[in-house]
Structure 1
Amino acid sequence: MNKVCASAAEAVADIPDGASLAVGGFGLSGIPAVLIEALHTQGATGLKVVSNNCGVDGRGLGVLLAAGRIARVTGSYVGENKEFARQYLAGELEVELVPQGTLAERLRAGGAGVPAFFTPAGVGTQVANGGLPWRYAPDGSVAVASPAKEIRAFDGRPHVLEEAITADFALVRAWRGDRHGNLVFRRASANFNPLAAMAGRVTVAEVEELVEPGELGPDEIHLPGVFVQRLVRLTSAEAADKHIEKVTVRS
């Protein structure tokens, strides 16, 4: 029942080339930065990443992207990452853009064992009708486009069928966790982290504070340990090393 690994390197050592990864975080908030750095050092490539966005240049998933380790991204926001845009437009990266709420529900459904669901989001657009550029050719033409999806009416309103997402591994960050893998997320880190953790077949969580089993009250736990296979305890310096995309202050 003790799921604590000796290091982040040990926790990601068996992630192979071509693996699919569900990664928590929103922008740079709540990202599993230490696990991402460990994976960068480990060297896995051809990764298929599912995450709200792909970090920024030089931080988060942007580190793996700049190293050419990511082959495909399923997300909802390109964000502040110039290298992401360059690789996508140059045909070096395959990108599936998904409405943000739909992406969250696809991850949750994958963790809950629901294979697919219907949603009105995207009806009447290329999300449902197909034709979104997933990959460009070097000449700028569309090499791979999204397929059309099934549409059904419920109470007279059209809905599009969206398939659940599961991943080989999930990388997430939590505020507190116990050795059994029960996790508590704090403030903005409770974004895509619980959903990504549910969707991973093997979920690795980095935690800022590790406690003993029984110290977390049942009502405190946001994600039960059944969804988590490995834990990495962060040092105080790693836990404090947090960044934001843009700093805005009053004059």
Structure 2
Amino acid sequence: MDRRTGLPRSSEGAPVTGASIRALGLTKVYGSGASAFHALGPIDLDIKPGEFVSIIGPSGCGKSTTMLLVTGLEPMSEGVVEIDGEPLTRPISEIGIVFQDHLLLEFRTAIKNVMLQQEIRGLDRQALRTRADELFQRLGLKGAENRYPWQLSGGMRQRVSIARALVHDPSMLLMDEPFGALDAITRTQIRHDLEMLWLETRKTVLFITHSIEEAVGLSDRVLVMSKSPGTIVEEIVIDLPRPRPAHLGEYPEFSRYQERIYAIFEKLGVYKF
């Protein structure tokens, strides 16, 4: 167990390097007066360093907004956010973000897309190139360094996006539907690759998804959100051994977690059978 978090260390014994995220009364309202739109909250979050937490909920409930609020990339209407115990007063830069769209620059090769972090942040070029090479190896991208995005498959482009998000060694990784545009086989492989990287580095991960399978398959905890304005209606601790197999159906517990989330959504009127 890691003394700092009470969470198990990875099989390699890697120490936790992620930051804690705490939010109280987090709320987002767009506009004012009669035209105001209450999009989110209030919600509370308490994510421990090195924890992998997924947020799942119906479209438009505020999942992505929550991610932006806790990083300061979107101003909150009400509430308080603390990162490692310090109040959030400005956008934080020591994060990595992966979106559903890979957002790679088409005129840069795969490795130059990843090394963009070095150029923007003014970091040591050799150190980041060494780290980039390691990530390309770990993510199955070896040999693709000098290919342009249009020369890569959808799965490879998303792997490059993940490498770009991690190369500068951030304390938090924010992922917004990162596998949503991928086929089922590719999603399974990248899910496995992501879990193995997380076990080795123990970054704090906030993972936004519509997929119950992804949420249960990757997470320490799953936070289930209601329809808009989104609130957290249930927290589910996922007690499954790691690393988790490609075929999660091997665990009867996995089906029970899935059924529990489906039942919550049915009760909320998200699913109507």
**TM-score normalized by structure 1?**
0.29
Looking at both structures, which has the greater relative contact order when contacts are Cα pairs under 8 Å and sequence separation is at least 6? 2
Q: Which has the higher helix share?
A: 2
**TM-score normalized by structure 2?**
0.27
